[in-house]
Structure 1
Amino acid sequence: MSRFAALDLTTLPDPSAIGVLDFDAILEARLVELEAQLTDVFEASKVSEIMALARNIAASPMRYLTEAAAARELYLENRINAALRSVFLSTARGDDLDQIGANRGVVRKVLDDSDPDTPVLESDAAFRARIQLVIEAWSPHGTEGSYVYWALEADDRVVDVAVYGPNHGLDPPIPPAEPKMVVLSSAGDGTADAALLDAVFAHCTTDKRRPVADKLSVVSAQIVPYAIEAVLYVTTPETASAVQASAQAAAEAFVNGRIRIGRKLYRTSIAAALNVQGVVDVELISPAADVDIGPFEAPHCTGITVTLQSITGGWRDV
């Protein structure tokens, strides 16, 4: 997409300042420190007696005090880690992410306020993506990322956006200064209706958002339907219901993660998603081949059918 949107924040490592939480290591460090302090005050025999209580007698007051102190240190380190994560876009969550958004002038969307007490809010993942894109919206030159940002801002039903220009090498080519925007809706099968396309166009062509020379056109993504049908082979029929529920949830998560314009669907990825704990083999019946998705298309899953078949595993499953 753009230099900002192309950066996958999930691939970034944790900041080096975030420590590893290890109660046993903290406890051992405190015991070592205690022994060093005692050595400066008492004779070796007395130190050994006290350390025996601290290390080996689970019910001794010395052991209780040392473990309590180690636990409090662990809690403090966890709070420090949480505080560090709260200031980075890639790791902030909830209210902390709202604060980062506010710093850039981006507010979390309210998707459904029919119940004032429990409104449905934009997810952290979607909100984080808009915060990341807002820098693009500050550009006066009509970058790809700025068009995507303003399209996402236009209507809550916009779930994905793609913008193409002459540099994308499409056939037929996009003429200079005539960018074409493709919109995928969260409603129905993903087809954006005329009202949604009009709303996106109006929002993106407001003064100071669109370069004066751009002749923008907004179209709906063309929907490519597909269905998932698979047979999962298991060796323990007693856990079949749990395995099937897990596989169904994994398939739904896969489908929801692939609601994207221009993203090809691979059979290997679908099979990998279905290969949950307890599954020995996956026979993917549908789709029968990889689902090709063009630059103006988006996939739409029409149904998920997962059945289980028991097989004999032999002595290896004992």
Structure 2
Amino acid sequence: MIDLQTLAPPSVVETLAFETILAQGKADFADRMRPHLPGIDDILKLESDPVVKLLESFALRELLFRARVNDASRAHLLAFASGADLDQLAAMFGVERMADESDDRFRVRLQLRIAAMGAQGTREYYEYKALTASPLVRAVRATQSAPGKVLVMLWVVDAAQAQAVRELVNSALNADDARMLGVVLTVAVAEPHVINITARITRTSSAPGNLPQLMRQRLAAAFADMGILAGTVARSYITTLLHVDGVHAVEFPDDAAPAVTTTIAAGEYPALGVVQLIDAGVVA
């Protein structure tokens, strides 16, 4: 599946600048008036001149109009569409937003639906069906464990409901209008791969008093946004997360918390474990 964030900016969306539009307006107006008013260039240098104010008003209205055109263009692109615009795009492929589903999750399901339209049995098909079966499925990974065997691994948001969600997804994938004949299908729930963090933090002189809380909040938010089933989590990424405003340096006294590279095996997902933040004082 294409990572929409890696795509180049669309050509249809114009880069806007008020000063550029104003300069273009002044140049056009000066060209038209110069034969009749030779001193127009000097007049346009006066910020208080009524003609300049009119041109500024024109430039602002032109800027707002072009911005509206940009917004309308983005609304038709999957990478930028949101809210009702995204709903309209999805409707063309027979996909409806689930209750309280975020734009990001809905966008992933729509991409999977488009990719799965070629034929049943693709990875995207199984993943789309699983995500659509329950909003508690945060992420899903379908693999061919052996010829004729498909393993669908689920990352369930609420561990207490994991087995109920697994049964729901299993029923959806084994329905008469969904199941591929001749395929042994297994649905399983992924297990957390806990990543513990022990970090020695050197503060700047302007560090806020709630610095540890800010760091913990950023770590929690980042892990909450992760959607990987199998892959790696690099220590360098953890370091980046810990470098909030007020942090001068980050050191890890325990090479295993976290490891340089934490491998998330098939059937696992990354989970934030014990976080120990050691205050190393203020930078000298």
Residue 280 of structure 1: SS of its match in structure 2? strand
> Which of 110, 113, 120 pairs up with 1:131?
110
Q: Does 1:78 find its partner at 2:67?
A: yes
Matching residue of 1:97: 86
Aligned residues: 281
The structural deviation recorded for 1:222 is 2.1
| Residue pairs, 1:111-122, within 5 angstroms | 121-122=100-101
Paired position in structure 2 for 1:168: none
Asked whether the 8 Å contact 2:201–2:251 carries over to 1, the reply is yes
**Long gaps (5+) in structure 1:** 111-120, 166-173, 314-318
* C-alpha separation in 2, matches of 1:242 and 1:68: 46
| Contact 1:86–1:96, Cα closer than 8 Å, also in 2 | yes
Question: 1 or 2, which has the higher strand percentage?
Answer: 2
In structure 1, distance between residues paired with 2:253 and 2:48: 60
Deviation at 1:270, TM superposition (A): 0.6
In 2: Cα distance, 1:65 partner to 1:230 partner: 59
- Aligned twin of 2:129: 150
Question: Partner of 1:114 in structure 2?
Answer: none
RMSD: 2.1
Q: Does 1:60 align with 2:60?
A: no
In the alignment, is the contact (CA less than 8 A) between 1:232 and 1:308 conserved in 2?
yes
Alignment of 1:1-318 (within 5 A): 5=1, 7-42=2-37, 44=38, 46-47=39-40, 51-56=41-46, 58-110=47-99, 121-165=100-144, 174-188=145-159, 193-236=162-205, 238-241=206-209, 244=212, 246-284=214-252, 287-289=257-259, 290-306=261-277, 308-313=279-284
What do the CA deviations read for 1:262-294 (whole angstroms, capped 9, x no partner)?
122211111012223442211235624132211
Letter of the structure 2 residue corresponding to residue 12 of structure 1: L
Any stretches of 5+ residues in structure 2 without a counterpart? none
Query: In the alignment, is the contact (CA less than 8 A) between 1:254 and 1:270 conserved in 2?
Result: no
For 1:244 and 1:41, the matched residues in 2 are separated by: 69
With normalisation by structure 1, the TM-score equals 0.81
Alpha carbons of 1:259 and 1:284: their partners in 2 closer, same or farther (altered >3 Å)? farther
- Normalising by structure 2, report the TM-score: 0.90
Aligned partners of 2:210, 2:137: CA distance in 1, in Å? 35
* Letter of the structure 2 residue corresponding to residue 280 of structure 1: H
- Inter-CA distance 96–282: structure 2 relative to 1 (3 Å threshold): same
CA contact (8 A) 2:130 2:137 kept: yes
Matched-pair contact (CA < 8 Å) for 1:228–1:285: no
Structure 2 counterpart of 1:55, one-letter code? K
Structure 2: distance between partners of 1:145 and 1:192: 24
The AA in structure 1 aligned to 2:220 is E
Give the share of equivalent positions with the same residue, in percent.
Answer: 27
Deviations 1:42-91 (A, max 9, x none): 2x2x32xxx434323x3332222111111111101111111111101111
Q: Sort the Cα spacing of 1:312 and 1:299 in 2 relative to 1 into closer, same or farther, 3 A.
A: closer
* CA pair 288-301 structure 1, distance change in 2 beyond 3 A: closer
Distance, in Å, in 2 between the alignment partners of 1:233 and 1:260 is: 31
